[in-house]
Amino acid sequence: MPMNEPGTVAITGLGTFLGQRLAERLLEDRAHPRIVALGPRRPLRLEGRIHFQDVDFTEPTADSRLAEILADQGVEVVVHTAFRHSPTPDLDFDHELETIGTLHVMNACAAAKVGRLVVASSTMLYGPRPDNPNFLSEDHPLRGHPEAHNVQNRVEAERLLAEWIPRHPDTEVCVLRHCWVMGPTYDDHVVRYFERPVVPMLLGYDPLLQFVHEEDLVHAFEQATLASHPGVFNIVGSGVLPLSTLLALAGKRALQLPSPLLYRLAYYPNQSQTGDPPAGFYDYLRYLWVAAGERGWAEFGEPVYSTQEAWISFVSSRRMRRYR
Amino acid sequence: MGDEIAPEGANVVPFPDVGSEIEPDLDELRAALEGLRREIRARFQPAAVERGEIDWMELFEELRRRVSTLGMVERSGVVDEFGMDEVVMRRGQRLLDFLFDTYWRVDCHGLDRLEGSGPRLLVANRSGVLPYDGLMVAHAIERHHASGARPRFLVADWLITLPFVQPYLARLGGVRACRENADRLLQSGHWVLAFPEGEKGAAKVFRERYRVMRLGRGGVVRTALENRVPLVPVGVVGPEEAHPILFKWTTPARMVGLPFLPVTPTFPWLGPLGLLPLPTKWWICFGDPIPTDELGPEAAEDELLVSRLTEELRGRIESLLHTGLDLRPSVWS
């Protein structure tokens, strides 16, 4: 039952960049919908403006508790953004939150007959492969990366969602797969990698990369929350740039290492920080995984920032930070 | 109050009368002034002073462009969606011209058959490991065709993912050979140059030269039918002798991820010097386009039609190769 201008919106993962910024953006409008925050922690920054409900998605009975809340509050749209931005070494918890948490949210939506479900996803799920076409469409299979546990968990979550959708025709589902995000305030492991003054990269590889600006990302989620956009969409900035050009634009130096050496040198730091061997991250700087954005642009409007502009916005904000 | 400015005041010091002494110094003064002017002109940009005015807006725009791409001498800050870099292309132009005019002395036959605009799919014979043939055919069309469009050439998977090769090929206009990429290029109005023989063509040994192998599994024909673009057969004579492969050595090549290691009279004996192709004489022959628009996109489902068209295409390329070989009195001239 697609409806417009929902009265009540539930957002999971208010602690993440995406959840918080989406709530703030929705609240900017005078006639904003009632916002219910679902999560384990009270979002103190938005205290008094949203209705907080304490739910832990990793608990075994989270689905029935969620269904109760959704029915109680009369929620019409659920936005699921409770995903980790960066991989962590806590592999079990990661699986519980990303895959099982999504399962709980889906089942609760079905039980409470929620009209619309918006799920955050990533174009990283397509996986970096030497045999990828230059532009991956939304219909391309999600192959992930075998050594990136965070990506694999989300691939599984999307697989569960794809099975769930035809069984629940009453709920329309919008999946937004976004590429790496750049902007003045966004922060994750990719941003921290690019923040280094000397950036390690693979000798002999110079893949094309694409970014989306944080404002364009939040805009797409806002559109998907407020109006009916069923389907899967890639949310990416326009244009692509090779990694070496990005570094030259930022005035950073590249440390070019042969892949066997880099994968051995970076093994311990990577394993302890992300729980994955280096290939889980550096393969994304080795092979192509650029996604085609046309379908998303037609649905949510052209992005304001191109890949280059998103990158420049990130670089200039960090440059300013040095002078504070 | 008015004392100071009173002209008739007796206490005003009279201006010394030096008029008679100035006359002889005037030329000297003029010469000194001229020297000063010359010095100023030399210090500033001569063109700007000559014109008498500086185009401030243009100067500002230029500076703004420079600042946004600081430290980017050998590349531009914007690439097209498949990674082709205008600055790299411009800088590579001289080398490509040298290869085209002096090194291989490329001649073209049947350029008039390329009349008209609109996207099309060019299909050529493949030879040699490095894609010189793709670069040269693209260069020939860009130079001689009225539209001035540069066709994008498709490169086999194993070549475009090879370290060191991939960054350069992408910047020079190479695109990974797959259906999705070809569709996207054709739909955005590009000319596409495909080498459907693939690895089998690149691995041709010297005694099999100018024998066109099986053209894949009909993917080129299917792509042309689906996008309703004409197929243009192209025969490239010359590159098959530029790297005469005596035999293929597979075992050591597998270790570094190559399908085979070509053993030529110069490679690997002379090391990297052996990678230099021989300066053979090249002829690029373009054939009559095979129109596909009246067949309609559903013809791509007709397997027999696709294989018949593929075989016809193969025959046409082979006859174009014979035309080229007849045009050429010897391998070197």
| Position B11 pLDDT exceeds 60 | no
The answer for B 83-142 residues in CB contact with A (under 8 A) is 83
Per the prediction, chain A carries an average pLDDT of 92
Show the CA angle centred on residue A180, arms to residues B184 and A318, nearest 5°.
130
Say which of A242, A248, A249 has its CB closest to residue B83: A242
Angle, to 10 degrees, between the axis of helix A307-321 and the axis of helix A243-250? 40
Which candidate in B158, B165, B176, B186 is best for mutational testing of the A interface (most A CBs within 10 A)? B176
Q: Over the stretch B225-260, which tens digit does the pLDDT of each residue have?
A: 999 999 999 999 998 888 888 888 888 878 777 777
Residues of B in contact with A245 (CB under 8 A): 72, 75-77, 79
Domain assignment of residue A192, yes or no: no
Residue B2 scores a pLDDT above 50? no
- Candidates B88, B161, B175, B258, partner chain A, best to mutate (most A CBs within 10 A): B161
**Does the distance separating the beta carbons of A133 and B181 come in below 8 Å?**
yes
Mean pLDDT over residues A105-111, rounded? 95
Is A263 within 8 Å of chain B by CB? no
CATH superfamily of B86-327: Glycerol-3-phosphate (1)-acyltransferase (3.40.1130.10)
Nearest to B80 by CA among B185, B227, B186, B187: B185
Under 8 Å between Cβ of A145 and A122: no
Q: Closest partner residue to A204 among B79, B163, B171, by Cβ? A: B163
Contact B163 A241 (CB under 8 A): no
Taking only the tens place, the pLDDT of each residue in A269-311 is 899 888 899 999 999 999 999 999 999 999 999 999 999 999 9
pLDDT digits (tens, 9 = 90+) for B100-153: 999 999 999 988 888 777 899 999 998 877 888 999 999 999 888 777 678 899
Report residue B158's pLDDT band, with 50, 70 and 90 as the boundaries.
Answer: confident
For residue A1, is pLDDT > 50? Answer: no
- Flag whether A97 is in a domain: yes
Q: Which of residues 24-53 of B touch A (CB under 8 A)?
A: none
pLDDT at A261 over 60: yes
3-state SS class at A100: helix
Cβ pair B157:A244 closer than 8 A: no
Average pLDDT over residues A147-152: 94
Q: Is residue A47 assigned to a domain?
A: yes
Q: Which of A116-130, B29-43, B119-133 has the highest mean pLDDT?
A: A116-130
* Cβ-based contacts of B153 with chain A (< 8 Å): none
- Flag the least confident range among A80-84, A148-152, B247-251, B317-321: B247-251
Which one of B180, B187, B190 makes the best mutation probe of the A interface by having the most chain A beta carbons within 10 Å?
B180
**Distance in Å, alpha carbon of A313 to nearest chain B alpha carbon:** 12
Domain boundaries, chain B: 25-71, 86-327
Q: Higher-confidence residue: B73 or B288? A: B288
Is there a contact between B191 and B145 (Cβ–Cβ < 8 Å)? no
* Residues sharing a CB contact under 8 Å with residue B241, sequence separation 6 or more, in sequence order: B206, B209, B278, B280, B331
Task: Please report the pLDDT score of residue A2 as a whole number.
Answer: 44
Predicted confidence (pLDDT) per residue in A167-211, tens digit: 999 999 999 999 999 999 999 999 999 998 889 999 889 899 999
Residue A152 — pLDDT band, cuts 50, 70, 90?
Answer: very high
For residue B98, how many other CB atoms are within 10 A of its CB?
A: 11
Geometric angle at alpha carbon B280, from B277 and B284, rounded to 5°: 105
pLDDT band at B309 (very low <50, low <70, confident <90, very high): very high
Report yes or no on A253 lying in a domain: no
Q: Is residue A247 part of a domain?
A: no
A 220-249 → B contacts, CB under 8 A: 239-242, 244-245, 248-249
- Asked, for residue A159, whether it belongs to a domain, the answer is yes
Q: How confident is the model at residue B168 (pLDDT cuts 50, 70, 90)?
A: confident
The number of beta carbons lying within 10 Å of the beta carbon of residue A40 is 12
Q: Does B78 touch chain A (CB under 8 A)?
A: yes
Q: Is B75 on the interface with A (CB under 8 A)?
A: yes
Contact A252/B at CB under 8 A: no
In sequence order, what E strands does chain B have? 107-109, 121-124, 152-155, 174-176, 192-194, 231-237, 247-249, 261-263, 283-286
Rounded to an integer, what distance in angstroms lies between the CA atom of residue A138 and that of residue A117?
18
User: Which pLDDT belongs to residue B43?
Assistant: 64
* pLDDT tens by residue, B171-228: 888 999 999 999 999 999 899 999 998 777 777 888 888 888 888 888 899 999 999 9
- Give the separation between CA A244 and CA B166, rounded to whole angstroms: 13
Comparing alpha-carbon positions, the chain A residue that sits nearest to B75 is A245
Q: Is A205 in CB contact (< 8 Å) with chain B?
A: yes
Degrees to nearest 5, angle at CA A65 with A61 and A68: 145
Determine the pLDDT at residue B1: 44
pLDDT in tens, A21-70: 999 999 998 888 999 999 998 988 888 899 999 999 999 999 999 999 99
Q: Which of B82, B157, B180 sits opposite A130 (nearest CB)?
A: B157
Contacts of B38 (CB under 8 A, 6+ apart): none
pLDDT at A16: 92
- d(Cα B135, Cα B114) in Å, to the nearest integer? 18
The pLDDT-based confidence of B161 (bands split at 50, 70, 90) is: confident
Number of domains in chain A: 1
Share of chain A above pLDDT 90, in %: 79
ipTM of the complex: 0.86
In this predicted structure, the answer to whether residue A217 has a pLDDT above a threshold of 50 is yes
CA distance A323 to chain B (A): 20
Element (H, E) at A173: strand A172-178
| Residue A51, domain member (yes or no) | yes
Burial tier of B109 (Cβ tally within 10 Å: 0-12, 13-18, 19+): middle
CATH of the domain at A74: 3.40.50.720
Chains A and B form CB pairs within 8 A to the count of: 78
Q: Which helix (H) or strand (E) holds A256?
A: strand A253-257
Residue B288 identity: D
The range of the structural domain enclosing residue A115 comes to: 8-182+212-237+291-303
Q: Looking at residues B75-102, what average pLDDT do you find? A: 85
Q: For B149-160, what is the mean pLDDT?
A: 85
pLDDT number for residue B180: 93
Test B180 with A135 for CB contact under 8 angstroms. Answer: yes
Cβ atoms of residues A116 and A2 within 8 Å: yes
Q: Of B125, B105, B123, B115, which Cα lies nearest the Cα of B322?
A: B125
- Report which of residues A13 and B243 the model is more confident about: A13
Alpha-carbon Rg for chain B, nearest whole angstrom, is 32
Q: Does A261 touch chain B (CB under 8 A)?
A: no
Q: What is the mean pLDDT of residues A106-133?
A: 95
Distance to chain A for B77, nearest Cα, Å = 7
The sign of the CA dihedral B231, B232, B236, B237 is positive
Q: What is the β-pairing status of strands A241-242 and A208-209?
A: antiparallel
Question: What is the band of B49 on the pLDDT scale with cuts at 50, 70, 90?
Answer: very low
- Residues in chain A with CB shorter than 8 Å from the CB of B167 are 204-206, 242, 244
**CB distance B163–A242 less than 8 Å?**
no
Res. B318 pLDDT band, cuts 50 70 90:
very high
